[in-house]
């Protein structure tokens, strides 16, 4: 995760951006928290979407190891087939089945080495829970109401731990709330950027 964070810092520095609203969804949220751990001065604001501060549990680590084995034995396609039902909410699966094909495309553009690197980063990330109380920049937390990967109670916990944060629950969305309900996601983001930052 620190490598991902370092890449974003390098990009900001190359673009001569001294501060920004920094955020991410899912793994991007973990990268955001890693960035804040090392250099909070870059943060004008923060967005944490469908993510959580906790490290993987032992059961979570074991599940990632199994996914790595599937990746090594069957390839990225098998990982996509396993993940898509978990990533998309019940409403999306029932009303917008075509989105599953789009998510599959997004997964398959990544090489097996890239997917393996992400899985390793996910299962070795530190617990960021102690960091939350030190976040004092404007912070937006968003979560899909049907997210089963990082369920809404985890976002409620972050909201309680980050003073002054704003929490928005996106109806009809699972873990990929930005893709499943883009209008609601973008409206919440625009309101935050306009009125809070």
The average pLDDT across 107-135 equals 96
- CA angle at residue 181 from 71 to 75, to 5 degrees? 10
pLDDT band of residue 10 (cuts 50, 70, 90) is very high
**Mean pLDDT of all residues in the chain?**
97
Residue 66 burial by Cβ neighbours in a 10 Å radius (0-12, 13-18, 19+):
exposed
Cα separation, 122 vs 149, whole angstroms: 13
Check residue 161 and give its pLDDT: 98
pLDDT band of residue 12 (cuts 50, 70, 90) is very high
The average pLDDT across 117-146 equals 97
Q: What is the pTM of this model?
A: 0.95
Sheet with strand 43-49: strands edge to edge: 20-25, 43-49, 139-144, 166-170
């Amino acid at each position: 995760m620190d490598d991902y964070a370092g890449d974003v810092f390098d990009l900001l520095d190359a673009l001569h951006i001294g501060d920004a609203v920094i955020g991410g969804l899912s793994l991007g949220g973990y990268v955001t928290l890693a960035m804040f751990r090392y250099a909070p001065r870059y943060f004008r604001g923060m967005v944490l979407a469908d993510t959580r501060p906790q490290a993987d549990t032992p059961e979570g680590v074991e599940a990632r190891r199994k996914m790595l084995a599937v990746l090594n034995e069957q390839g990225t396609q098998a990982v996509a087939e396993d993940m898509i039902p978990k990533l998309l909410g019940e409403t999306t699966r029932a009303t917008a089945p075509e989105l599953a094909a789009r998510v599959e495309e997004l997964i398959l553009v990544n090489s097996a080495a890239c997917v393996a690197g992400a899985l390793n980063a996910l299962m070795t990330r530190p617990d960021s829970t102690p960091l939350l109380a030190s976040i004092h920049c404007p912070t937006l937390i968003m979560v899909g109401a049907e997210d089963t990967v990082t369920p809404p109670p985890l976002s409620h916990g972050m909201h309680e731990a980050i003073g002054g944060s704003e929490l928005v629950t996106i109806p009809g969305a699972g873990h990929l709330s930005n893709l499943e309900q883009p209008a609601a996601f973008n409206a919440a983001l625009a309101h935050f950027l306009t009125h809070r930052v």
